[in-house]
Structure 1
Amino acid sequence: MQGIEKEEMIRGRFERIIRDAQTRICAAVEEEDGGGTFREDAWARPGGGGGVSRVMQGGKTWEKAGVGVSVVYGTMPPEAYRAAKGHTSSNGANGASNGASGGVPFFAAGISSVMHPHNPFAPTMHFNYRYFETEEWNGIPGQWWFGGGTDITPSYVNEEDMKHFHGTYKRVCDNHDPAYYPKFKQWADDYFLCKHRNQRRGLGGIFFDDLNDRPQDEILAFSTEALGAVIDSYLPLVQKHKNDAFTEQQKEWQQMRRGLYVEYNLVYDRGTTFGLKTAGRIESILMSLPLTARWEYCPPVDPTSPEAQLVDACTNPRTWA
């Protein structure tokens, strides 16, 4: 790892960035909603650190929207370390095995959000940006990395919307490395796969993790710009569709797609897994879940319908930008 002064500088800078982003994004969402307000809960983690969760429920535009910031530290079990690194084997990354004793000293700061609009033609959006580091432990050198991304989950395919959303993040990526967008777009398509359904939970975006292949300042700058693009990439889509007319059948389809969203978050999401394994605050960890969802037994889908078009796009990822 780099020197202590450098580590603390990155920690403090990233924490200020995510706290500022939480304030700006919540203010923009409240303004667009035109009726709902965020409830704020500050919480402390017994092992060290804490966070601030802001959640809007039953708004005019959003059924549920949450933006949470957490800054936690202390020690974590080896299995939580493996979850953070994306390894599930007991012989996980870098020797973090069940044979090693004690907890792994760590620091983690992040901002995460999921927003579920009422209207089935307005998409759900998720973002998460985080910085993570560990200290030397049982002979394993200390490490640092950045992770995160922003992705979109509509119930219906709108090509113009997807070109806007993906185009926004392609421009952000290109500002830092032309190789970023194709790499991180593919990573999102692979990561957000609900394997037991053989479908992505949505239409992707960008995703990256364990990013430490260049100076911290460079990755911090990229993460900051990507986080700053959330408002411009997403709110115009909600504004465009929040008053669209829809049928009861279209609302039910949205609820079933939310069911798949719930399945993915509880079974595959690394952030959820890490939070549960580090005794995190349950309300904050499960903030991403919608107020309502639906599971039908073997629901029929007309192969010529807009619903089938969405399933196809989630099964066979497309190039949008």
Structure 2
Amino acid sequence: MSQDFDARKDRAAAWFRALRDKIVAAFEALEDEQATGPFAALPPGRFEVSPTKRASDDGGDAGGGLMSVLRGGRLFEKVGVNWSQVHGTLGEAAQQAMAARGVPGVAEDPRFWASGISLVAHMQNPHCPAVHMNTRMFWTPSAWWFGGGTDLNPCLEYPDDTAFFHGVLKEHCDRHNLDYYPGFKAWADEYFFVPHRGRARGVGGVFFDDLNTGDWDADFAFTQEVGRAFLPAFLGVTHRRRDMPWTEADRDTQLIHRGLYAEYNLVYDRGTKFGLATGHDANAVLMSLPPIAKWP
């Protein structure tokens, strides 16, 4: 299966990289456009791009990627858009976690390859929601699958924003399978729940993992669709809220919500756990954390 999948791995990694480039360009254009608010006099924010490396046990090449972070912009307080393509051997904990999810053969042959894009944005204006998105492909000698999703995380909730965001996701999901949106929305509601707080971290979106219908091209096409849905869904909401005036009370609400977001990512998030367990660059893995947070 390895040789058959080499070209497919390359296709997936190249597409995730192209999506990363498109989103970075769109976010820098938003920074250029932002002409109101308390940060409008600042220079438009730009991404700082750094290569990342995955640590390998034998000191050899284990892949890496690009970490792109914009800090202190007119619109974005902190946003990271990371792309990676890594390979190596799964550790015992990762093998056990995948075996528990029903992934076959990881104990017998723990080699893996993975590529994807991961994005988290924390906004200056409390009326603009934070957002997360990722899409990825994972391969082992005995299995392959896609995963990803996107979810909206407002500290000040607007029902029409939630409806718009979900409407765009549904439209894109429905192009592939009418069961995908309701199923993956329910999965997101379950996955992005913070048990120790007894609440969701945001207003949801879609989430899927271990997607392997047996048709690689169809599953890759759907994963691409989720990636394509992100910008129209998020930018539509952002354009509505980015010029709204806000108060110190709004800022306080935002910082407390960021504390909830940080708790979730450090305690429950699969990607955080996997990245740290497999030796990927810790700064890239923890890029999702907000620059400033507060706890009640």
- TM score, norm. by length of structure 1: 0.84
Aligned to 2:95: 81
**What is the CA-CA distance between 1:46 and the residue it aligns to?**
3.3
**What is the CA-CA distance between 1:242 and the residue it aligns to?**
1.4
Aligned to 1:63: 77
Q: How many residues align?
A: 280
Residue 133 of structure 2 aligns to a residue whose secondary structure is strand
Residue 108 of structure 1, aligned match among 114, 123, 147 = 114
**What is the CA-CA distance between 1:78 and the residue it aligns to?**
2.2
Output the CA distance in 2 between the equivalents of 1:250 and 1:46. 41
Q: How does 1:28-39 map to 2 (within 5 A)?
A: 28-34=26-32, 35-39=44-48
Check the 8 A contact 1:32/1:239 in 2, yes or no. no
Aligned to 1:119: 125
Check the 8 A contact 1:86/1:270 in 2, yes or no. no
- Compared with structure 1, are the counterparts of its residues 273 and 32 closer, same or farther at alpha carbon in structure 2 (3 Å cutoff)? same
- Is 1:26 aligned to 2:24, yes or no? yes
Question: 1:12 corresponds to which letter in structure 2?
Answer: D
Output the CA distance in 1 between the equivalents of 2:51 and 2:17. 12
Q: 1:102-133 CA distances to partner (integer Å, 9 max, x unpaired)?
A: x7100011100000101111000100101001
Aligned to 2:53: 44
Which ranges in structure 1 are unaligned for 5 or more consecutive residues?
136-141, 297-321
Question: 1:254 corresponds to which letter in structure 2?
Answer: Q
Instruction: Choose 155-164 or 264-273, whichever is displaced more.
Output: 155-164
Residue 203 of structure 2 aligns to a residue whose secondary structure is coil
Aligned to 2:249: 249
Aligned to 1:14: 12
State the percentage of identical aligned residues: 41
Output the CA distance in 2 between the equivalents of 1:239 and 1:87. 42
Q: How does 1:94-243 map to 2 (within 5 A)?
A: 94=104, 104-135=110-141, 142-243=142-243
Q: 1:176-206 CA distances to partner (integer Å, 9 max, x unpaired)?
A: 0000000000000000011101111101000
Output the CA distance in 2 between the equivalents of 1:227 and 1:93. 24
Aligned to 2:59: none
Q: 1:14-66 CA distances to partner (integer Å, 9 max, x unpaired)?
A: 11111111111001001102210000001222321110010000011010000
**What is the CA-CA distance between 1:239 and the residue it aligns to?**
2.1
Check the 8 A contact 2:53/2:280 in 1, yes or no. no
Residue 134 of structure 2 aligns to a residue whose secondary structure is strand
Output the CA distance in 1 between the equivalents of 2:21 and 2:74. 20
Output the CA distance in 1 between the equivalents of 2:66 and 2:233. 24
Question: 2:206 corresponds to which letter in structure 1?
Answer: I
- Compared with structure 1, are the counterparts of its residues 86 and 112 closer, same or farther at alpha carbon in structure 2 (3 Å cutoff)? farther
Aligned to 1:307: none
Residue 24 of structure 1 aligns to a residue whose secondary structure is helix
**What is the CA-CA distance between 1:276 and the residue it aligns to?**
0.9
Aligned to 2:36: none
Output the CA distance in 1 between the equivalents of 2:31 and 2:181. 31
Which ranges in structure 2 are unaligned for 5 or more consecutive residues?
33-43, 57-61
Residue 229 of structure 1 aligns to a residue whose secondary structure is helix
Output the CA distance in 1 between the equivalents of 2:277 and 2:146. 20
Q: CA RMSD in A?
A: 1.7
- TM score, norm. by length of structure 2: 0.90
Instruction: Choose 37-46 or 119-128, whichever is displaced more.
Output: 37-46
Question: 2:138 corresponds to which letter in structure 1?
Answer: F
**What is the CA-CA distance between 1:86 and the residue it aligns to?**
8.4
Check the 8 A contact 1:125/1:153 in 2, yes or no. yes
Question: 1:64 corresponds to which letter in structure 2?
Answer: K
Residue 145 of structure 2 aligns to a residue whose secondary structure is strand
**What is the CA-CA distance between 1:81 and the residue it aligns to?**
3.0
- Compared with structure 1, are the counterparts of its residues 95 and 223 closer, same or farther at alpha carbon in structure 2 (3 Å cutoff)? closer
